[in-house]
Chain A
Amino acid sequence: MAREKLDNLQEQLCRTVLGSETASYELLTALIAGGHVLIDGPPGVGKTSLAKALAGAVSGQFKRIQFTPDLLPADLTGYSIYRKNKEAFEFVEGPVFTNLLLADEINRTSPRIQSALLECMNEGQVTIDGVSHPLPDVFQVIATRNNRHRSGTFPLPEPQLDRFLIAIEMELPDQAVRSRILEHHASADASGSAQNAPTPIFTTAEIRSLQEESLALPLSSSVARYIIRLCDAVRSDTELNTTISNRGSLAIMRMARAIAFVEAHEAVYPDDVKRAFLPCVVHRVDMQQTDLDEDSNSRKRETTRLLLKEILETTNVE
């Protein structure tokens, strides 16, 4: 039953954003792994639509924050206000107190505000005036980032990036998919029908139970050693600058477990680790490349992905 629902969810996501098969799969898997997701891509490829589609498919609370340069930490986490009639301070919850938080254009706000999310994302709680307020059991941040246009943006600091379980890179789809998108919208415009609101497929309780089931999947010591070898290979690569923390290794393990669960495997296989490796690592590493021309950024991103793929191909499973 749960497996059918998972298939339905992926289908619904793919239907909402045409050509997003890989992104939908990774987003769904990250939900099962209980991790936060960073969606990277140029404007207009369906980053926000995909995140909203996932929110619509889970019948929990969904909140969206448009990150702007004038945002304050209290706008995210909440604040304490003095109530004269009660003669006491009362905590007013911010938008982070939700099940699914869409942080749109996260790099449009200053690092100070980005850092306000650190505690929420890592520990599932918010501490204000020395009092910790727990966040809901199912809490996922889906952040979108425009990685093409840098003007007016602030780069995400490494500790913040490390809090994201995976990064999904969305690109402009191929020509066939692009024409399907146009046809789809043209027919919707002609019939005058607005896009149907997505129907909730999962409750938060069901998501929680799926997360627990995926965590129960066995992981052999040889697979764990394989993850360690992959991370060591990234660390020893002279061209990749940022090292992967233990949190990064744990992220690969969690994601591999979720993939194994979605694929209905009895245990975590090396192939699951291979599928989890790239989305879990790509945002955690950086390359110091010479800024040769205007294409430098996209070339750097492509080279990073290729180097990681080469590491994956050259690291032995056992």
Chain B
Amino acid sequence: MDTARPTLTHRPAGICVVTVAGLLILSGLVTFSPQLLSLGLLTTFVWGTSRFLAAKALSGLVVNRTLPRRAAVGESFPVKTTLSNGNRFIAVPEFEIRDPLADSALEEKKPLVPGEEKSLTYTGKRTRRGRIKRQHWRSISTWPLGLFEAEMIGPFIDTQSPLVIPKPFLPPHLQRYIENLQEDVAHSSFAPPDPSAEFKYLREFRHGDSLKSIHWPTSLRTDELLIREPEPPSPRPRRFGILVHSFSPSGKIETPETFEMILRIVAGLLFYFRSCEVEVRYQVLPHGLTLLRDSRDFSAAIDQLALQSRDPLSSHEKIIAAAESFHDCDDLFVVSDCPISEWKQSLSSARVPLACIDSVSLSSASRPKLRTRKRLQPL
């Protein structure tokens, strides 16, 4: 399907013309009437010329498409399509073009003269994650006399192949939970004060202060004892972990929708932590553990979600082992497309505080609906 190929179908007017031509020729032959015969041949000539031109009309059309690098499922994005006529002699007439990303057909009413370029800008939308693979445009023209419908299917020449990521979704109660955890950081896990750290300011000596903390150079200059007040210990940032797994206990089949929902929640968590600039230990089973430090790491992990396939585990051992590798985290989010009841118990011995998330336990109110668009006719 890589090369454009026009297909011609008769329109009612075309059928009438060819029937009339046939009848005229037949009548001319039967009645030995040269007038009827020549009229029939003339009609056949018109029909033939129309067919020839209709077949050539769209043959020079080249369609380039500019797409963004990334998009999210269910969100519109701008698409710029450049139509050019590569034909050296024949103009591309009035036609209609269909882009599978667009909501409706795009009409071009002015003919494209040889060598001319025209740009159309519109919105596109995808309802499935993944990379947008090579797509084909379809154009329809009834030029020149409306006797034929010429249909041509050709490949879009895309500037890049965009990645459609799952639309991030962070349930409100989960966001509140994380915010509360982050607030708790101020009251816990302070790093021990460092005696060699820079002092913040000097203050007067008070009874009970250690002699070691006197700042002698300033004290001698000012003739009063001054104490070094060290920098207050800063709280150690909370370490979060995200463990994603698909678990299929025997006899239970999870639907693709639950897996997609889980990917959306994971994307929501990743976007949240990226915006907060918080480091995250992240693992999607059966793959290995990675540390997401900066926005580049987070973007790579989010891109990976777009291409993630479901790789279900059949036993608890791998989940338990994976949870153990998060032992240095303060909180671990375990996200699965399988109901919590099937696997939570097996993680009871984990040394990390767990927040278990599945798509089933989301209430109907917090379960978001994806907006879909009217489908185009399949190519």
Contacts and interface: CB of A to CB of B under 8 A. Distances in A.
B123 A290 contact: no
B123 A306 contact: yes
A290 B299 contact: no
B96 interface: no
B165 A299 contact: no
Interface in B60-93: 68-72, 75-78
B77 A303 contact: yes
B122 A289 contact: no
B168 interface: yes
A289 to B, nearest CB: 5
Interface string A7-38: 00000000000000000000000000000000
Interface string B159-185: 000000101100000000000000000
Nearest to A302: B78
Interface in A287-318: 289-293, 295, 299, 302-303, 306-307, 310, 314
A304 to B, nearest CB: 9
B75 A306 contact: no
Contacts of B70: 292-293
B170 to A, nearest CB: 12
B103 interface: yes
Which of the listed residues A238, A289, A295, A306 has the most CB atoms from chain B within 10 Å of its own CB?
A306
B72 A293 contact: no
Nearest to A238: B371
Contact of B68 (A238, A295, A307): A295
Nearest to A290: B72
A291 B168 CA distance: 10
B271 A239 contact: no
Contact of B76 (A239, A293, A295): A239
A238 B122 CA distance: 17
B314 interface: no
B122 to A, nearest CB: 6
B72 A307 contact: no
A289 B76 CA distance: 9
A307 B102 CA distance: 11
A291 B371 CA distance: 18
Nearest to A289: B75
Contacts of A310: 103, 122-123
B371 A239 contact: yes
Which of the listed residues B70, B75, B121, B371 has the most CB atoms from chain A within 10 Å of its own CB?
B75
Contacts of B103: 310
Given A239-B76, A290-B167, A306-B78, 11 more contacts: A239-B75, A290-B75, A291-B271, A291-B275, A292-B70, A292-B71, A293-B69, A303-B76, A303-B78, A306-B76, A306-B122
Interface of A: 238-239, 289-293, 295, 299, 302-303, 306-307, 310, 314
10 contacts: A239-B75, A239-B76, A290-B72, A290-B167, A290-B168, A291-B275, A293-B69, A299-B77, A302-B78, A306-B123
